[in-house]
Each structure stands twice: as structure tokens, then as C-alpha cells.
Amino acid sequence: MAYFFLPLILFFQLGATCFAAIDGRGEIAIETRYFEDDQNTKTMDKSGAIFSRVDSTLTLETYPNFEGKFRGFARVDREDEHRNVVKFEDFYLGYLFEEPDITIKLGWHMFNWTATEAFHPADVINSRNLDSNLETPEKFGEMGLTVTKNFEVASLSFFFFPHYEDPMVPAFSSRFGAGYNIHDARWVEFDGTQSADSWGIQGGMRFTTTIGDADISLHGLHMMDRHHPLILLDESANLSPYYFKVNQFGGTMSYVLFEGMIYKFEGAYKDFTNKQVTGFTLSHPLLAEGIQVVGRSKDHGQLANGLEKSFLIFNSYDFTLILEHQIYLGINPATRAGLGIFQNDVLLGGRLAFNDAMGKEMLLLLIADVERSQEIYFNFKYAQRLTDTWSINGGIRLFHAPKKEATIKGMQLLNDSDHIFATLTRFF
């Protein structure tokens, strides 16, 4: 990993001693979460954390085509040390070749390949912190090399990623967890072999363009899938998440149907080519207590469609009505219920912007499973600035998904995880 750090460190040191322009900003926040008491002494019903983020861009006046970018965050939780984290989001060195209009970036990268509010089948490169917001979990930067060729109304990008960034799985004490201690990630290659070695070949390409009122993207990826693990027993009889190599093809589209109405599409197909996995066993008493085992990850499609309609209320407030649906295709209902929280769900929501000096905004989301009865997620959030440098946000999340069968699936994992949350942030 040192050879990825070296050019970045040298560039920032060079910028500190040469003619350079540094654009920097950051934030520090106090976060709180309070869950409904589950009468379980092993879980954490509250948390209080200090969160910080630094975001800076460095350019050299004598070499304007060079750019250095650093963006990362850290969290320290005084109640639950398992939530402590330090991660890069963006940390790269970039160079623009003007004549062919090609940009090359080396380091850690953050990608935003989504068009929809809560369902993101195409946005798969960055690993997530699964002990964060359910609809928009925190992302971790992905180490690698990107090369982008820009055209007049389009761009073509190529990617190489040599490292598998481990997602942050909720600990046994988390109310978002399964109540078990999940050990280190295991990576399953195309030939079926698995190990704890987090180095391997990944890559892909993406094409984006604008056609009339439509923004369109298409991608193809050869990746270690970090979004549909199997929780299995490793050779030491520890529960570990097993992640599988996948070929993924998909894309996104945002299309303005008429003034104030936008149609959004996001989809992907995952092809897991390995036929068997070696090096683990399925026989253990813990597996009878709710940990799901569905065999090898299944080839499947994942589609999300959405509509957004904006309204002007009293000539002052902007209200956006949001309607979305996501479904897993190519697999039976029992299998797809175990692949994700939102396996066949519809979202109805609204965002109200007050358009005042304090930037007051309210967001309301209701997500319900249309196939599995009594699986409902409710989220309300309010945010505003207090001053030019202080802001506050808070809200409530409610889950209703009682256990209906022997194996816990989908949203049932989050049943009785109702909680309120608040964050006070100072920007600098």
C-alpha cells in the first residue's frame, strides 16, 4: 500500500513548499442516537460520538494541470468503540492532459453513480458503513487508478482497483446488527477459492452522455461485490461475511418528462460465475438461531424506477414529491428476501425546502415491502443552519417488520430498532 501513498504525500509536501493554492474546509459534529429499549444488556441503546471531516484541494500555480485532493472523515463513539472509524473518501493525485482532454487520477476515489433517493443498484464501487443511515449509508474511498476521456457531451472512464475495501459491518452490540460477533471479511475469487487476502484485480468502464433532456450512463464492472455477502462459518468456526467476485452491467438515466417532473431509472445485472466455494462449513449450532445461509450468491438483476414532481407552495416553499420502486429479478421471492433490505419495495416521500436564510428543510420517507406484509420503514428528518458556521439536523426512524418465519430476512433484522437522532455541526 505504501506505493499508493508515496506520490500523494510527495505532491502535498511539494505544494506546501512551492507556489500553491490550497482550498480547504471541514466540519466537526456531535452525534447522538437513542434507541427504544430492547431489554437486552448486550446491545447499545444509545450512542454519543464526535465526527469530523476534512476536505481540501491543492493546486500548484506553476503546474495548473496537477491537482491534489484530500477528503476523509473520522468518528469516535464514547459509548460503543466498535463504531470508531477513520477513512479516506477522496485522496488522490490528478493530472489533466489538455490536448486529448484526458484526466488521470491515482489514489482513493469516491463515486456517486446513483439517480434515485433511496435505492442504488448501480452505485456499487464504494464500500459502506452499514452502521450508519439506512437509506444513504456512509461510503469509503476505493483505492485505484481512473482514466477519463472527455468529449463534447459525453465522457468515457476506465478504472483499475487493486484492493478490496472492507465494509464496516455492525458489531454484536449494534441495534443494526444480528446480535453476533462478525469476524473479518473473506474474499471469494472466480475459481471458488476464498481467503482473507484483500488484494486482487478489479476494474471496469463507464460511459456518460446527455441526449436532449436525458442524462444517461452505462457501466461494466469486474468487482468484488461488497453488497450481497453470505454470513458463513470460516475454518475456525467464526461467523464471517463472504464476498464474491461478480461481473456487473448496468446504468442510470434521469429524464425531464415536463417542467417539474423527472423520471429516474437505475439498474444492474450481477453475474456470479463461480460454481462452488471451498474452505468453509455450514454445520454449526449458531445457524439455527437466525443467521441465513442461502448457498452461493445468485445471479440476479436489480431495478429501481422513480418519479420526482416539484411544486411551488404559496410562492415561497419548494415541495418535491418522491415515488420510487425497487425489485430484485431473476430469483424467487424467498431468495431475494435474503439479498437485501429493500427486495421489492415502494417509496413514497416528500422534501420541503423553506427557501429562507437558515436553509430549513424537512424530508419524509415511507418505504413499504409490496410482497412481504408488515415490513415498513419510516424516516423523518429536519435540518437547518443556526448561523453561518453552525447547523443542526435530527429526526426519527421507525421499523416495523415482525419475524414471520424461522429465518430472519430483509427488514426483519431491523425490527424494534426505532430510534431518534440528532447532529450539531460546526463548519470551518
Of the given ranges (37-51, 194-208, 271-285, 309-323), which has the lowest mean pLDDT? 271-285
Helix (H, G, I), strand (E, B) or coil at 352: strand
Distance CA 229, CA 414 (A): 17
- Per-residue confidence (pLDDT) for residue 189, from 0 to 100: 85
pLDDT at 231 over 90: no
Q: Residue 404 pLDDT more than 50? A: yes
Cβ–Cβ < 8 Å for 74, 83: no
Q: Is 234 exposed, middle or buried (0-12, 13-18, 19+ CB in 10 A)?
A: middle
User: How big is the chain, counted in residues?
Assistant: 428
Give the model's confidence band at 283: pLDDT under 50 very low, under 70 low, under 90 confident, else very high. Answer: very low
pLDDT at 304 over 80: yes
Residue 46 grid cell? 444509545
Say whether pLDDT at 263 is over 90: yes
Rounded CA-CA distance 83/245 in Å is 27
pLDDT at 368 over 50: yes
Type of residue found at 297? S
Residue 38 DSSP SS3:
coil
The grid cell for 7 is 506520490
Where do we find the cell 436564510?
357
Instruction: With CA atoms as reference, report the closest residue to 140 among 168, 180, 118, 116.
Output: 168
pLDDT band at residue 192 using 50, 70 and 90 as cut-offs: confident
Query: What does the pLDDT look like over 16-27, one tens digit per residue?
Result: 555 567 788 999
Return the pLDDT at 8: 53
> What span, in angstroms and rounded, lies between the C-alpha atoms of 297 and 287?
17
Higher pLDDT, 260 or 97: 97
pLDDT value, residue 293: 41
Q: Provide the pLDDT for residue 307.
A: 97
The residue among 62, 49, 159 whose CA lies nearest residue 111 is 159
Q: What CATH number did the domain enclosing 405 receive? A: 2.40.160.10
Which set of grid coordinates corresponds to residue 226? Answer: 461488497
Range of the domain at 33: 2-427
Instruction: Calculate mean pLDDT across residues 393-422.
Output: 86
**In this predicted structure, which of 2-11, 76-85, 98-107 has the lowest mean pLDDT?**
2-11
Q: What is the pLDDT of residue 11?
A: 52
The pLDDT of residue 238 is 78
Average pLDDT of the residues in 348-366: 96
- Provide the pLDDT for residue 194: 81
Cβ proximity of 26 and 55 under 8 Å = yes
Q: For residue 1, what pLDDT band results from cuts at 50, 70 and 90? A: low
Q: What angle do CA 141, 215, 103 make, to 5 degrees?
A: 45
Among 27, 45, 223, 245, smallest CA distance to 123 is for 223
Give pTM, 2 decimals: 0.87
Domain count, the chain: 1
pLDDT score of 274: 60
pLDDT for position 222:
96
pLDDT tens-place string over residues 43-99: 889 989 999 999 999 888 788 899 999 999 999 998 888 899 999 999 999 999 998
